[in-house]
A and B are shown apart, each in its own frame.
Chain A
Amino acid sequence: QKEVEQNSGPLSVPEGAIASLNCTYSDRVSQSFFWYRQYSGKSPELIMSIYSNGDKEDGRFTAQLNKASQYVSLLIRDSQPSDSATYLCAVNRGSSGGSYIPTFGRGTSLIVHP
């Protein structure tokens, strides 16, 4: 079982709609969760982090975490064509050295069409 799973998509939504991106993880002791946006040919950039159950809002973005069900989601309100990118979910996991290292999902491709 993969540690962090995302639907590869593409997820296609019309401009102005809400885009919903989902991620599930296997390690129950995971504590911190991150969403990154990656434009084609570019490096990822951090959008949001969350570590408490519930919702966390930042502008048009809302991250949702449910530790009991082991999923984390990202909602993008009023989607714009500029939001078209691959969205990577990352989950902190413990390592043999005692530090905590994010494990990344494969990403979901989002296409926002005018």
Chain B
Amino acid sequence: DGGITQSPKYLFRKEGQNVTLSCEQNLNHDAMYWYRQDPGQGLRLIYYSQIVNDFQKGDIAEGYSVSREKKESFPLTVTSAQKNPTAFYLCASSIGGGPLSSYGYTFGSGTRLTVV
């Protein structure tokens, strides 16, 4: 079955440590995205990539970095510069498309990151 796999499901980070969240998809989707969700809040866009070897900052990119070396993979690194990283991180992919696109996202199961 096609889908998006995020790992790990739970992750604990120590102060000053960088951690990397994995996101892999086998849907042959061009576009991939990272969102952060805090309790009682909507999804906030961190980074997105519409094509391999290219990515764009979202609304809250500070303290995060990404790479898109393969179509299937879009890992997110939470750096020590991110002062409040505890959140639920969601990776998504889509076929892509223009303004009239009715293609929505397929989401992974998420990674819960906690600072200890």
In the complex, which residues 20-71 of chain B have their Cβ closer than 8 Å to any Cβ of chain A?
A: 31, 33, 35, 40-43, 45, 48, 50, 56, 58
Residues of B within 8 A of A46 (CB): 104-106
A49–B107 contact, CB under 8 A? no
A32–B56 contact, CB under 8 A? no
A104-B102 in contact given A43-B107, A43-B109, A95-B56 (Cβ < 8 Å): no
In the complex, whether A20 has a CB less than 8 A from a CB of chain B is: no
Cross-chain pair count, CB within 8 angstroms: 68
Residues of A within 8 A of B108 (CB): 43
B90–A100 contact, CB under 8 A? no
The residue from B42, B97, B99 contacting A106, defined by CB atoms under 8 A apart: B42
A residues near B, CB below 8 A? Answer: 4, 8, 29, 31-32, 34, 36, 42-46, 49-51, 88, 90, 92, 94-97, 99-107
